[in-house]
Structure 1
Amino acid sequence: MSAQPDDAGLFGPDSVSWQLHAEPAMWLAGIRSLYLQALHPRAVAGIVQNSDFRGDPLGRLVRTANFVGATTYCPRDEVERQAAKVRAVHRSLRGTHDGRTFRIDEPELLLWVHCAEVSSFLTVVRRAGFPLTAAHADRYLDEQRRSAALVGLDPGEVPGSVAAMRDYLRAMRPVLRRTDDTDAIYDFLHRPPVGGRLALGLPAYETLVGHLAYSLLPGWAVTVYGRRAYPHTISTAMMRTLSETLRALQKTVRTVVREPRLGPLVPHPVLAARRLGDWAFPSARKLPAAA
């Protein structure tokens, strides 16, 4: 059965998630989340052993962005289809750490990846200047329990507020450490092995994206990595400048995109606005007033 044109999906235009996930700073947040994920020894082992990130350097980031976009802006039947596909892939994957084999879809690992992602999304977008109140932030993390359920987690066991997320991350610190796999992810995210014309932009990418995203990690995570980051004030200023530039480009993309796909990236907010009406296009001005 085809989706109803007015199907607003899992969250809908009245949610914090709908507005926040369209922000350009989400790109830096996504990369930041990969740095954070890589501090969990088993999680990063699973990434390195099951991802062709060297042969397909942009693939994981694009797939993650498309999944987040789909679960936020697509009709419910498409959300369920995408989620079922991800769960099936996770069920089939195994990793090895310290001589022991583990399932990629262990709840502990799924929870770590979820929390690394949504805490990064929230932290980076707020730091970029997106006008969220404390109540908005709590509401966002509560909404994202729905996305956690899509990958197989019990929503009741997922942090649903800023305080709960802070407690979870603090409790995880004894588990986290730098490994050879962590270093492999760090090197890859700083200088992905791209060729052709893309290689010409690597110096700028490393400075403006790779190392900037790393510098947006919390101080304790930078300490675990043991590598120098940009000072807080500099990284914040750089991120806000980059976000403004990307926001201007985003408006152009919204105007000119004609096909349902834009290269490997799906412009989900644009497609959702076309399906529901321009009133549904994400904007900070549309954040829930009661939050």
Structure 2
Amino acid sequence: MGLMTPLQERLRVTFAGQADRVPEWELALAEGDDAGYFQPGSAVWAVHGSMATIPAGVRALLTQALHPGALAGVVEHSDYRADPLGRLAGTIRWIFTVTYGDTTAAHRASAYVRRLHESVRGAYTGADGVERSYCANDPDLVEWVHLAFTDAFLRSHQQWGGTIPGGPDAYVREWAVAGRLMGVSDPPRSEAELDARMAAFDGRLAGGPRVDDVVRFLRRPPLDPLLMPGYRALFAAVVDSLPQDRLDLLGLERPRLGPVPLPTRQTAGFALTVVGKALGAQGPSEIAARQRLARLAVI
């Protein structure tokens, strides 16, 4: 057993729910009759195929929690505390199916999530103190979730990933497909538009006890002890990468040793390098997609 084997097994359990074999849904990405929405060389494959997706997931959750409606849906209808890895695995399954699957698989996965969201209903108190009813499929909520996701994955890749074919605008434009699949009527198609659309939500975002509870959970999730040192480095780096206005709402401060800023970006980069060596250059989803593309003579 090599030095990387225990880490590799724990990472596979964390992200896929099992260490001994590839999940069936990933193997099924080799099936299908078309090339899908994204192929090798696309901005989406570059961003979603890098290790920067790990801190991106943390950043997305912190950002999404700032919308009281989105947070109410998670707190009141999710079992993220009892089964955080199960929820993570479900999110990963949707992302990778849309990224690497054929168009039928992408539509099927998105429709499944939207059906689940239809029953996610309730009421929340907005940043203005007004109580509102909500459904997780409401236009403003699905838009905020899409914006937070796109921002998190783009900014994290800019910090810790490689180049993006076509640049940031290409990623935002390509991933707009996923927004439309989830019900966003007019997702942003450029980096500048993404920033403007996120800024337009400023008055609707809020901190508070529920946000504080999510922050505490994300700071110390119930991960395997072997993974916690790396996770702590990634969490600190994500915090350091967030805009100040979001940090204020989250009740977080940039990591410092007295007056000296900590080198969080470099430390997180080292952790991601170790994870990359343990998991390999290509994940099972990408390998399966390449098999489908080769069968269809696309590559």
Mark yes or no: TM-score above 0.5. yes
2:231 is equivalent to residue 211 of structure 1: no
Could you list the per-position Cα deviations for residues 91-112 of structure 1 after superposition, in whole angstroms to 9, with x for gaps in the alignment?
1210321354311111100000
**Corresponding letter in the other structure for 2:269:** R
Q: Which runs of structure 2 are paired with 1:2-21 in the superposition (5 Å)?
A: 7-21=34-48
Paired residue for 1:104?
136
Question: Matches of 1:13 and 1:252 in 2, distance apart?
Answer: 14
Alpha-carbon shift at residue 168 of structure 1 (Å): 1.4
Compared CA separation, residues 119 and 127, structure 1 to 2 (3 A): same
Question: Matches of 1:269 and 1:82 in 2, distance apart?
Answer: 17
Question: Matches of 2:151 and 2:278 in 1, distance apart?
Answer: 25
- Greater mean deviation of Cα atoms: 27-36 or 185-194: 185-194
Aligned residues: 261
- For the Cα contact (< 8 Å) 2:30–2:288, is it kept in 1? no
- For the Cα contact (< 8 Å) 1:35–1:214, is it kept in 2? no
Paired residue for 2:206?
177
**Corresponding letter in the other structure for 2:179:** A
Paired residue for 1:92?
119
- For the Cα contact (< 8 Å) 2:36–2:102, is it kept in 1? yes
Compared CA separation, residues 233 and 140, structure 1 to 2 (3 A): farther
- For the Cα contact (< 8 Å) 2:207–2:249, is it kept in 1? yes
Alpha-carbon shift at residue 270 of structure 1 (Å): 2.0
Alpha-carbon shift at residue 202 of structure 1 (Å): 6.8
Compared CA separation, residues 130 and 230, structure 1 to 2 (3 A): farther
- For the Cα contact (< 8 Å) 1:10–1:75, is it kept in 2? yes
Question: Matches of 1:112 and 1:80 in 2, distance apart?
Answer: 20
Could you list the per-position Cα deviations for residues 68-100 of structure 1 after superposition, in whole angstroms to 9, with x for gaps in the alignment?
111000112111111110111111210321354
Alpha-carbon shift at residue 250 of structure 1 (Å): 2.8
2:217 is equivalent to residue 188 of structure 1: yes
Taking structure 1 as the reference length, the TM-score comes to 0.81
Paired residue for 1:270?
287
**Corresponding letter in the other structure for 1:84:** A
Paired residue for 1:221?
246
Q: Secondary structure at the match of 2:246?
A: helix
Q: Which runs of structure 2 are paired with 1:3-42 in the superposition (5 Å)?
A: 7-42=34-69
Percent sequence identity over matched residues? Answer: 30
- For the Cα contact (< 8 Å) 1:273–1:280, is it kept in 2? no
Compared CA separation, residues 120 and 180, structure 1 to 2 (3 A): same
Stretches (4+) displaced over 6 A: 278-281
Alpha-carbon shift at residue 238 of structure 1 (Å): 1.9
Compared CA separation, residues 7 and 14, structure 1 to 2 (3 A): farther
Q: Secondary structure at the match of 1:144?
A: helix
Could you list the per-position Cα deviations for residues 2-37 of structure 1 after superposition, in whole angstroms to 9, with x for gaps in the alignment?
986662211222421022111011011011100011
Paired residue for 2:270?
241
Q: Which runs of structure 2 are paired with 1:41-52 in the superposition (5 Å)?
A: 41-52=68-79
- Greater mean deviation of Cα atoms: 272-281 or 52-61: 272-281
Compared CA separation, residues 132 and 3, structure 1 to 2 (3 A): closer
Q: What are the ranges of 5 or more consecutive residues in structure 1 without an aligned counterpart?
A: 255-266, 282-291
Question: Matches of 1:39 and 1:229 in 2, distance apart?
Answer: 18
- For the Cα contact (< 8 Å) 1:107–1:153, is it kept in 2? yes
